[in-house]
Chains A and B, each alone.
Chain A
Amino acid sequence: MIFVTVGTQLPFDRLVKAIDEIVPSLGGEEVICQSLGGKYMPVNMECRHYIGKQEYTRIFAEARIIVAHAGIGSILNAFKSGKHIIIMPRKASFGEHRNDHQTDTASALREYDNIHVAWDETQLSSILLSSDFKDINIPIRNNCSDSICASIKEFLLN
C-alpha cells in the first residue's frame, strides 16, 4: 500500500494529480491519499480530506512507501516508523506555500537513506516506479537528541 499525504496546512494539487496519473501503472497496489480537499479531483483513486492521528499512525505503519510534500511532520513520521518516503517540495511560485523553505528542507535531508527527493512530477513517477524500496533496512529513529532536551530543561528550570 502506498500512502500519499499533503500535510495539515495546505492542499497540494500538483502532487495529488501526479500520483493519480501514476496509479494505472502501479499494478493494482492500494493507494491511500490524504489531500486536504484540493481543487483537483482524482479519477484513479479516492482521496480523503484529513486523517485522524490514530488512523494516520496505523496507515503509516502499514504502508510500503510514503509519498508526501516535504513537510517535517511527514518526514518525521517516516523516520519514526522506519519507512522510505518520497518527498516533493512545494513551490511558492505555484502558490503551494508561502515561501520555498521545503526546497531547502529537501536538500538538507536528502542524504538520509530513506529520504528520496522528487524535484518534479517526472522524477516522482520515475522514483516511485523504479524500486520496491524493500531492500534497504531503515533504522527507526525516535526520540529527539538528548542535547536539545537537556538544554531546554536546564534553561527552564534554572
Chain B
Amino acid sequence: MKLLAIASDGGHWEELCEILNGISQDFDICYVSTNDNCRYGLSKKDKFYVVKDFSRTSSRLIFKSLFSSLKIFLKEKPDAVITTGAAPGFVMVLVGWLFGKRTVWIDSLANVSRLSLSGRLILPIASRVYTQWKHLSTPKIFFAGTILRT
C-alpha cells in the first residue's frame, strides 16, 4: 500500500517520523515536508518532496500549496495520506479526500486543551482524526496512545 506522509518541519515532522518508525515496514512511503533538511534520516531511495510552509497568518498561500500538493499527489498516486499537520498536511488531506483516498490526521501532542485549528477544520473531511490526549477523545476523535512511550 502506498502512503503519502506529510508534515511541516519541526515538531510535526518529528512526531510523524515517530509514527512512521512504528508502521513503515507495511507501507511504501512517499515523504513530504516544508524543508529540504528533513531529508536527513531518510534513505537515498526514499521519495521526498518539499512544499512551501504556510499558516493561518499567510493563508493566501493556500492556493499555491493546493497546486503543489496536487502535483505531488497526481505523480505519486498514493492509496492513503497520513499527516501530523500543520497547514500543508491539511491541504494534502483535502487533496486525498477529493480523490476518494483514506486520510489520517494525527493532532500534535502539543494540543492539550483542544484539537488544533487545522484538526478541527479537517475533522469533517479526514477519514480518521487522532488526538494524543485521552480527555479530548470523542466518538469522532480517536485516542489510541501517544508518540511518547511512557
Interchain CB contact under 8 A, A148 and B145: yes
Q: Residues of A contacting B12 with CB < 8 Å? A: 72-73
Interchain CB contact under 8 A, A8 and B10: yes
**Apart from the given pairs A102-B110, A148-B106, A149-B22, 12 other A-B contacts in the complex at a CB distance below 8 Å:** A7-B11, A71-B10, A73-B14, A76-B14, A101-B111, A105-B109, A144-B145, A145-B149, A149-B19, A149-B23, A151-B130, A156-B104
Interchain CB contact under 8 A, A76 and B22: no
Give complex CA distance A149, B132 in Å.
12
Interface residues of A in 50-84 (CB under 8 A from B): 50, 52-54, 71-77, 79
> In whole Å, how far is A48's beta carbon from the nearest beta carbon of chain B?
13
Give complex CA distance A147, B143 in Å.
9
Interchain CB contact under 8 A, B10 and A105: no
B residues lining the A interface (CB < 8 Å): 1, 3, 8-15, 18-19, 21-23, 26-27, 35, 37-38, 40-41, 55-57, 80, 82, 102, 104, 106, 108-113, 116, 127-128, 130, 132-133, 142, 144-150
Among B22, B82, B109, B130, the residue within 8 A (CB) of A72 is B109
Give complex CA distance A104, B149 in Å.
20
Interchain CB contact under 8 A, B55 and A52: no
Q: Residues of B contacting A8 with CB < 8 Å? A: 9-10, 35
Q: Residues of A contacting B41 with CB < 8 Å? A: 53
Which 10 A-B pairs have CB atoms at the shortest separation, nearest pair first? A149-B22, A72-B11, A73-B11, A151-B144, A147-B145, A145-B145, A8-B10, A148-B145, A53-B40, A104-B112
Interchain CB contact under 8 A, A144 and B38: no
In the assembled complex, A136 has its CB within 8 A of some CB on chain B: no
A residues lining the B interface (CB < 8 Å): 7-9, 50, 52-54, 71-77, 79, 98, 101-102, 104-105, 107-108, 141-153, 155-157
> In whole Å, how far is A33's beta carbon from the nearest beta carbon of chain B?
17
Interchain CB contact under 8 A, B18 and A151: no
Q: List 10 A-B contacts (CB under 8 A).
A: A8-B10, A53-B37, A72-B11, A73-B13, A79-B148, A144-B146, A148-B22, A152-B144, A153-B23, A155-B128
Interchain CB contact under 8 A, B113 and A104: yes
Interchain CB contact under 8 A, B3 and A156: yes
